[in-house]
Chain A
């Protein structure tokens, strides 16, 4: 059933066994409880919960803003990773150290801080209001909050890979007459793509489920700025466990499929 890359390295059974047991106890069985709770609903009831206009609107909002935030991170994350790995400049160490701040900052604190920042009375919000648009309590605010929370993913997955690509390879390509774009397209992109996709997928998946940092800035208006995790909370507060878990299961399945897809894609790319 298993095929080792190298027959001389020991520990396959031990590590795989440990991994599976640990994952099962902590993640899989509890998630199973979630699925089991949903089976209290008949198929028709499940569809009715999921198909309710409010749920669909939240679904669109959560996945839409998370996707947008992940794309945004794909761009600025690549920029940051590139600059941090390739250049030496004043403040580099500071930026390098602070990239992980969004992971370290409790999401609730992030939410409070971002709300203070982007609210119409806040420093950034005021400028936006003068320019004629609103950030807080709109999907734009949610996207920005999600971009903040998931910022480290792309940077941190790209950095080690970027550092491992010998600069000489690019330089050799340049010496041989390749234009910067060609260097990027033919040398860097293939090497970076798996890591980039991983970072993108993680940012996206995390964004879909994010709660603490978003509720303060979302406005929570049904049909407009109400995110899926909030809807779960709303259902729970009405003692509607089955309805809450139904939404939870839906989110889980979609996220799982996305992650699986990306992992498969990544393996195809990395093993030509």
Chain B
């Protein structure tokens, strides 16, 4: 029977063709919008690492929703470094997995955040709905695309940026909540991740405005050409700080601490900062920031620590079960 031979042949070819292993490998577990950034950065780092007289290193990449990625690492995905969307997710590596020390964020400069971003609006060319600021998002008939804050790190930054704006403009928490509630009434689709939302907006052409990471919005412009979309910067936004960390338990086991630490440190180097800026992340390095100053519109930004008391307070208050986000949807 040919089916049997087919099965055997499949099996055989599968085993013969097992993947070859390189000398040194490290695994960078990252969130959704950094794909392009790390593709460029990994190549540069490898060059730098070899120039220092080391063996070539293969950096493997894994991308996905920030929370999902953190959970995979806690459950045993052997990441040497994590580069996630928000500090809250890396905190869990300590809390649930005991993979890193509690003070992980103080081990690298700038609270372990080598680059930052913010939340901006991506609108259709010509801005047909006249969207200039957060207030325009709650108008009737405006469709807003943002991912689900329960599953997406970027969406949590979106939510908090809207909240910060409303609180500053209208004063009280109740009014901020009412504002955000109105905003989410205008959301027709909640994708599970930032990339999903971008694709809903860009490819499936749903909605009038996409709340997006600044880097994600720039990338969409670059990918689609400037003729379909434009970026609108709101009057106030939030400083999105995606941090990085070496996963101690894993690098000790694999003996890759030196290269993992060099990898993250290189993010802070001028070259690393430049690659970040080229991929539309705001660099920390002032010299590089000045080089790219024309690329990033000046924005009034609040910080998670300043406006919300850090993720340790913001996460349970807004996004855990029964938090503000749930209350908004159950009220509807």
Distance in angstroms from B39 CB to nearest chain A CB is 22
Given A52-B321, A120-B206, A223-B330, residue A237 in contact with residue B68 (CB < 8 A): yes
Task: Judge if B18 is at the interface, Cβ distance under 8 Å.
Answer: no
Interface flags for A233-248 (1: CB within 8 Å of B; 0: not) read 1111111100100000
Interface flags for A42-79 (1: CB within 8 Å of B; 0: not) read 00000000001110000000000000000000000000
Known pairs A238-B319, A238-B320 / 8 extra A-B pairs, C-beta < 8 Å? A119-B205, A219-B190, A220-B192, A223-B329, A223-B330, A233-B192, A234-B148, A237-B150
Q: A115 CA to B67 CA in the complex, in Å? A: 25
Q: A81 CA to B206 CA in the complex, in Å? A: 38
Query: Which residues in A have their C-beta under 8 angstroms from that of B151?
Result: 233-234, 237
Whether A219 pairs with B326 at a CB distance below 8 angstroms is no
Q: A223 CA to B326 CA in the complex, in Å? A: 10
Task: Judge if A173 is at the interface, Cβ distance under 8 Å.
Answer: no
Residues of chain B at interface, number, CB under 8 A: 26
Task: Judge if B255 is at the interface, Cβ distance under 8 Å.
Answer: no
Q: A122 CA to B204 CA in the complex, in Å? A: 8
Query: Which residues in A have their C-beta under 8 angstroms from that of B96?
Result: 239
Distance in angstroms from B173 CB to nearest chain A CB is 21
Given A54-B330, A121-B204, residue A237 in contact with residue B71 (CB < 8 A): yes
Task: Judge if B189 is at the interface, Cβ distance under 8 Å.
Answer: yes
Query: Which residues in B have their C-beta under 8 angstroms from that of A220?
Result: 148, 189-192
In B45-99, the 8 Å CB interface with A consists of 65, 67-68, 71, 74, 92, 96
Q: Which of A137, A230, A238 contacts B67 (CB 8 A)?
A: A238
Whether B71 pairs with A236 at a CB distance below 8 angstroms is yes
Query: Which residues in A have their C-beta under 8 angstroms from that of B205?
Result: 119-121
Task: Judge if A116 is at the interface, Cβ distance under 8 Å.
Answer: yes
Distance in angstroms from A234 CB to nearest chain B CB is 5
Whether B92 pairs with A230 at a CB distance below 8 angstroms is no
Q: Which of A120, A137, A236, A243 contacts B321 (CB 8 A)?
A: A243
Whether B206 pairs with A238 at a CB distance below 8 angstroms is no
B66 nearest CB neighbor, chain A only: A237
Given A121-B205, A237-B67, residue A219 in contact with residue B330 (CB < 8 A): no
Whether A222 pairs with B326 at a CB distance below 8 angstroms is yes
Q: Which of A115, A215, A239 contacts B204 (CB 8 A)?
A: A115
Q: A85 CA to B239 CA in the complex, in Å? A: 64
Whether A137 pairs with B204 at a CB distance below 8 angstroms is no
Query: Which residues in A have their C-beta under 8 angstroms from that of B319?
Result: 238
Q: A230 CA to B195 CA in the complex, in Å? A: 17
Task: Judge if A28 is at the interface, Cβ distance under 8 Å.
Answer: no
The 7 listed contacts between A and B (C-beta, < 8 Å) are A120-B205, A121-B204, A137-B188, A219-B190, A221-B329, A222-B329, A223-B330
A218 nearest CB neighbor, chain B only: B189
Residues of chain A at interface, number, CB under 8 A: 26
Q: Which of A53, A120, A215, A221 contacts B192 (CB 8 A)?
A: A215
Interface flags for A123-162 (1: CB within 8 Å of B; 0: not) read 0000000000000010000000000000000000000000
Query: In this complex, which of A54, A234, A236, A239 has the most chain B Cβ atoms within 10 angstroms of its Cβ?
Result: A239
Query: Which residues in B have their C-beta under 8 angstroms from that of A215?
Result: 192
Interface flags for A161-205 (1: CB within 8 Å of B; 0: not) read 000000000000000000000000000000000000000000000
Q: A115 CA to B205 CA in the complex, in Å? A: 11
Whether B92 pairs with A116 at a CB distance below 8 angstroms is no
Distance in angstroms from A10 CB to nearest chain B CB is 24
Query: In this complex, which of B71, B96, B148, B191 has the most chain A Cβ atoms within 10 angstroms of its Cβ?
Result: B148
Whether A219 pairs with B321 at a CB distance below 8 angstroms is no
Q: A239 CA to B73 CA in the complex, in Å? A: 12
Given A116-B204, A237-B65, A239-B96, residue A219 in contact with residue B188 (CB < 8 A): yes
Distance in angstroms from B55 CB to nearest chain A CB is 37
Q: A122 CA to B326 CA in the complex, in Å? A: 32
Query: Which residues in B have their C-beta under 8 angstroms from that of A235?
Result: 321
Interface flags for B88-114 (1: CB within 8 Å of A; 0: not) read 000010001000000000000000000
Distance in angstroms from B203 CB to nearest chain A CB is 8
Query: Which residues in B have their C-beta under 8 angstroms from that of A230?
Result: 192
Task: Judge if B2 is at the interface, Cβ distance under 8 Å.
Answer: no
Q: A65 CA to B319 CA in the complex, in Å? A: 28
Task: Judge if B332 is at the interface, Cβ distance under 8 Å.
Answer: yes
Query: In this complex, which of B68, B92, B190 has the most chain A Cβ atoms within 10 angstroms of its Cβ?
Result: B190
Q: A127 CA to B205 CA in the complex, in Å? A: 16
Whether B71 pairs with A239 at a CB distance below 8 angstroms is yes
Distance in angstroms from B200 CB to nearest chain A CB is 8
Name the 3 nearest CB pairs between A and B, nearest first: A237-B67, A222-B329, A119-B204
A226 nearest CB neighbor, chain B only: B190
Given A115-B204, A236-B71, residue A219 in contact with residue B329 (CB < 8 A): no
Q: A53 CA to B205 CA in the complex, in Å? A: 32
Q: A222 CA to B155 CA in the complex, in Å? A: 15
Distance in angstroms from A117 CB to nearest chain B CB is 11
Whether B148 pairs with A119 at a CB distance below 8 angstroms is no
Query: Which residues in B have their C-beta under 8 angstroms from that of A238?
Result: 67, 150, 319-321
Query: Which residues in A have their C-beta under 8 angstroms from that of B330?
Result: 53-54, 222-223
